[in-house]
Every structure is written in structure tokens, then in C-alpha cells.
Amino acid sequence: MKTPHLTLPSYYIGLMSGTSLDGIDAALVAIAPDSPPRLIATHVLAMPHALHNLLLTLCHAERVSFAELAEAESAFCKLQADAVKALLTQEGVTAEQVHAIGSHGQTIEHAPSGHHGGPAYTLQLDNPSLLAELTGCTVVADFRRRDLAAGGQAAPLAPAFHQALFGRQNGEQLVLNLGGFANLTWLPSDTNISVMGFDTGPANVLLDAWFAKHHNGRFDLDGAWAAGGQVDQALLSRLLNEPFFHQPPPRSTGRERFHLAWLEKQLTGHEMPNDVQATLAELTAISVAQGVQQLPLSHNDITLMACGGGANNTYLMARLAAQLPNAIFKSPADIGWPEDWIEAGAFAWLAHQRLHNQPGNLPSVTGASGQRVLGGIYAH
């Protein structure tokens, strides 16, 4: 009797550094045919203070030099390579066993509608050629611009991975990513209905910036500082007047729209700092709830899977629960994917899609004219 042929899973590494600029997330993912991706191992490498400041400066600079870009890109790439090497050493996996690294790069600016009447663009700082040399692995990178070329927003890209990971189950299933920005994915159980997804607005980006302005640290642990404040309703109303919150999907955003200077323009100067922090958390909760209201849900009872760094913010999650009283909150950790690792996993999966010449975008999410194979291959 013949032994049945077993298809072994392939190893991929996903690298993600989000708009929070807190470090490199490296995820080792196993992908096998007809099975959801499996998270095998993870490693975090914190962003050095000097690189954090340089990247933050580039994100908001009116003018930059090629030398500054090259310095930041080289340092960022070497940090990514260090994260990959540490992950491989930690797991006893060789570079030859990794089919590819999926590198998102560091977003410097995202302008899918152009800037002052100019062409649409999205810029991720990355050097996949150097990353391939430093790691000995094939690298897939530059995922966003093909979707942009096809008329899409180039973001969010994670909803296609959410569909592959969570599938379509009975009921209204939502996936909420609370990174620097918040984005929402709707996975309808009816396969005749397209998946939807879009950015709802800022999440950690303003919370972190305001906290760092007043404290010696990068983020408000558990939302403790915000919890000690009171929501300023007048400030909240001014913030919610931002036109982005009223745009229909597809939509995406970034630091070029929501940043510390944008917030400070809305302040009278008489607000208590921790009241502002509480108001920013409420802004995220309300804008997410408004996003849910834009979805063609068949009923009000929904299951919401929260992921990203903001899912660890106790105060923010409490405010979300208050704004979405009919939602049942679940953790992706229940299926082996801790909250912090969905985004890095998405780019491992996107690398797999590219090597197998399969599409990585969802036109119903990004607004692109069709499905596209995303990313360029930098073979080792």
C-alpha cells in the first residue's frame, strides 16, 4: 500500500514596523495548502531611540535630503536583518528553510489621493536588496504600489489575510486592528457578499504622541493616564469635525493627516493634559463605532476580534465596549494568533501569495480596479 503524500508547510517571515515606530515585529509563519496560516514563533526588536526620532522627523518633514533618507533606510534595513537573524537563531531555523521574507517597510507618507493636486503616492522606506544580502533569504517587498497603480488606496492590505486566517463564519464577524491607526474588516458569512475594510481613523498615533509630550515614555501603559482624565466634549466635537471621519469607504489615512500639530490646533490651551488623553481614546472608540455603522450588517449582534497594540490598552478597550454594546469581543489568541502578531503575519502571507502568483489585495476594500499580485521579488 502506498503511503499518502504529505505536503509539508512552507516557512515565511513577516516583518512589520507600523506607524507607532516602536520596533520591528518578526513573525515566523507556516503556510500549507488548504489550511489557515500558523504562527510558529515571534521576535520583537525595539526601535533605537535615534532611529525612532529620525523616522519621525522624516514623516513630518517639509523637505528631506537623499542623505537623510539613505541613513534612515540603511539603519532600518539592518534592524530588520537583526530581527530576522535573532528569530532564526531562537528557533534553530536556517535561512535556506525560509521561502521568503515579506517586508512591509516603514511608511513615511501615504497620500492615495495625491497632495495639492499631484499624483497619488505611498512611500515605504525599505531596502529589500540589502535585506536579502544581510539575511540570505529571498525578500518580497513594495506591496502597496501595485494596488495604487490599479486605482486603489493601497491600504488596508490586511483584510485579505484576515479572510485567509479567520474565514467566513456564521454571524457578523469583524476584525479591528488598533495600530498607529485603526482599520476595520468585515467578513460576512454570505460568500456572495464582498469583504469590506477601511481605516476608521487614529488609534495609537495620537495617544502615543500626546503621552510622549508630557511623560518620559512612548505610550500610556494600559491607558492608565487616560483613565484618570475626563472626556472633553467640546474638544471631541471639534476633532470629529475632521472631514475624513465622514468620507465613505474605500478610505485610508496616515500621519500626514493625523499628527500632534493637527491635535494642537484644536486645543484652546486650557485643557488638562490627561483630559486630552481621555478625549483621544474616546475619539478612537467613536470613530470605530461610526465605521461599524457604515457596514451593511444584517443584524446588530457582532463578534469583534481586536488586534494590534491598542488591544492591550485596557481603558481604550473599555471605551470601545461602551460604544459597541452589542459586540462580543474575542481574542485572536484563541486560535493561536496573539493580538500583536496579525499585521506581521499578514506580510508573511502576502510574500507567499507573491511567490505563488496569487492576488494579495481585495478590490472591495481598496477600491482597485481588480485583484492584483502584489510586491516585487528580490531573490537571494
pLDDT by residue (tens digit) across 190-242? Answer: 889 999 999 999 999 999 999 999 998 888 999 999 999 999 999 999 999 99
Q: Which SS3 state, helix, strand or coil, does residue 356 take?
A: coil
Q: Rounded to the nearest 10 degrees, how much is the dihedral formed by the CA atoms of 208, 211, 217, 218?
A: 0
pLDDT of residue 273: 96
> Residues 152, 154, 159, CA angle at the centre, nearest 5°?
100
Cis previous bond, 112, omega within 30: no
pLDDT surpasses 60 at 1: no
Question: Where are the domains positioned within the chain?
Answer: 10-154+344-378, 158-335
Query: How far, in Å, CA of 222 to CA of 148, rounded?
Result: 36
Among candidate residues 353, 371, 354, the one with its CA nearest the CA of residue 362: 371
496579525: which residue's cell? 342
45: β partners: 24
Select the CATH number that applies to the domain covering 10-154+344-378 from these four: 3.30.1540.20, 3.30.50.10, 2.40.50.140, 3.30.420.40: 3.30.420.40
Report the CATH architecture of 158-335. Answer: 2-Layer Sandwich (3.30)
Q: Which SS3 state, helix, strand or coil, does residue 139 take?
A: strand
pLDDT of residue 7: 62
* 3 band by pLDDT with thresholds 50, 70 and 90: very low
Query: How far, in Å, CA of 85 to CA of 89, rounded?
Result: 6
Q: Say if 10-154+344-378 and 158-335 have the same CATH topology.
A: yes
- Per-residue pLDDT reduced to its tens digit, 291-309: 999 999 877 778 999 999 9
Cis previous bond, 36, omega within 30: no
pTM equals 0.93
201: β partners: 182
Are the beta carbons of 7 and 167 closer than 8 angstroms? no
